[in-house]
Structure 1
Amino acid sequence: MKKKFLSLFGVLLLCSTMIMGEVSVHAYNINKADMFWTQQEKNTCTLASAVMLLRRKAALLNDADYKSITESSLKSKAWNGGLRWDFEFSTKNYTYTVQHAAIDSYKAPDVKGEAKKAVVLSWLKSHPEGVCLYARKGYNGFTDSNHCVLLTDYTGGLFYAADPAKNTSRVTIDKVCKVTIENAASIWYVSKVKKSNGTVVKTVSSSSSSKDAGSAIALSDAKMSLSTVYYTYNGQVRKPKVTFKMNNKTVSSAHYSLSYPNAKNVGKYCITAKGKGEYCGNKHAYFYILPKAVTISSLKKKKKGFTVSYKKVQGNVKYQIDYRIKNGSWKYAYSSTVKNLKSKKTYQVKVRAYNNGAYGSYGKVKSVKTK
């Protein structure tokens, strides 16, 4: 499935839907059999997952027309050789908007371990109907064919999901193909619901009850800013100041709590804000500790290659060596000895340091002629 990727780099991950209307006590069980769906064609796992997503959302809103949501009815609105990133689908009483969002980069998993788990949990808290979880072959350690499942909930310390290819209902995610939280890179989620009269429907996070739903404000609707996004490594723990604004007014820190990482070494770090009081849901912001520029100290030519020496920088980093024939395209390696180049050609070389999604600046470009 070919799709353009929305990078998280430097971008905040938005974690819930718009809030503007009302929601009532649920008449339908979102885990009953007809809320789950088996894909009708070989490569429609994303479409089938979207069917389950929308049926469960419709059930939460007491939409009696939820059975009209099928692969066939959804395909004309949501399919173009793959599931569209953004689409709308209407039943008799509601119009549902579904959007795509990235968890991390396909090529370099920027968000890992507990930080990634926290990001996914924040989506589930804001979307009790679940989210479509997508993994792509060859990226984030995923070796199976591209696949999508519906991530339904997190209960008792376990993630649960439904796999449209296996005709499963709600099971623990370890039983669902090979899609995991760690190797998934993106999701689809219901971002907005409107009644047939145009009124936007308020949605309630899974951590809120219908009793207090009318007064809760989604923290994700506020603008989250950091005092500093990019730091240069100096060996000290970095802790940027966080500010929230709603309608250009500063939100009191009494309405949210902050969870900071131990940000000392070079890397990309996530700050998690959790709403409290009249605010609900979570929001995340990222900042970076960057290494200093790397200076090349010497270049030694070899037969069809070269060896580069450079001044190491601090911050628990790795090094990337970029090289090219003048005016050619840059290629890169991670070993200080580069082989299998063209003989008797002059190569331009530059080096930078990196770690965990944070890349430093390149030092001065130098040249070497291979033997």
Structure 2
Amino acid sequence: MPSDLDAPGYKERNNPGGSCRRYWFAPHRAVKAGYTPTVVPLPYSPDEPDGRRLIEATCQRLQAEMLLFLANHGREQARFDGTILGLSRRYQTDPASPFQRLKHNSRHKDIYTLKLIETAFGQRSLAALKIGDFRRWYDEAKKPSRPDGPERVRRAWGIIKKLRELFAYGIMAELPECERLHTILRHARFAQPARRRVAMELAHVEAFIPKALAMGRFSLALGTAIQFETAMRQKDVIGEWEPVPDGRPVPAGAFVLNGRRWVRGLTWEDLPANLVIRKATTKTGAYAAHDLKLCPLVLDLLDRVPLERRTGPLIIDEASGRPYAESAYGREWRIVARAAGIPSHIWNMDARAGAITEAEDAGADLDHIRSAAAHSQAATTQRYSRGAVGKSRRVAELRLAHRAMRNGT
């Protein structure tokens, strides 16, 4: 294995003829615990263009999936010993815990934060904790990762938020000290991370699409156009991968990868002849409806797809011939965006905010925008409107008209 590859589990095996085969191997402890797959062939070479990057990304993803399995597999309900670690393990293994009802992707994020907590102060006794401990932990967690870097307020806030949730669970489970600590954190105030204020603009999309087409990334061009024109979430457009439920048969033709199946993304079957799509959103289940005939950026791209190819998932990774693996869509999007001259602070996820901001600038009714974005509350829609001047412009126009009427002009 090349020494500078950041590819956990990567191994090379030489064939008798001298050629080299490359694999990711699960560690012995994971295999012993029943983890599969134990070995995954890697169709990339470090000597090929982008080969090293693809090897590293694949191995890191496989390693993360394996570690997630180990973190929550085969554990009996942990005995509570009065420590933060004991509370965390009980929270993760108790069948009555809210943790058991989280979606797989939310559980993955939960485990990441819980590991931070367990490693940093898992051995601390709940009975000995005071407000000063939480203040100190918050201050330590928000320190920059490098001397000239920004404070990591989001990281620190996430730890405090998770501690609140742990103590809330402890109250429900009737564990000692949890009610006292939950009361402390309920009244304590910690600075929250600033809300994102960036929105993608039409000029960004118009620069991105031709560059994506030139780079052979039609899927990224189409996905971005749909996101910006309809304000749909990325997951509702490209789908996501979830664990295959134990004992349930996988439908014929389904995409399955490393024990996960692709679900909830747009398919060509979702596009009827009239091009009006109706889809339940992944986050809330609310239905969103969009007439793609009124989305010129999308229409132009759809016209490029022959009828015989209009089947299956709408957004397909050209490199693999299947829906994008986790995080791959955003990673590949950034490569094209960089080539198109789009600033690094503009992310693919900002397409939704861009769509809502443009709608408000155009004078669209807030409730109409809320419905189009499939938000249940108008306050949520307003948070996505970033720097729009539609309402303030209308207010200014009304004030000017009022002045003119008072002055008799």
Query: Above 0.5 in TM-score?
Result: no
Structure number with higher relative contact order (C-alpha < 8 Å, ≥ 6 residues apart): 1
TM-score (norm 1): 0.26
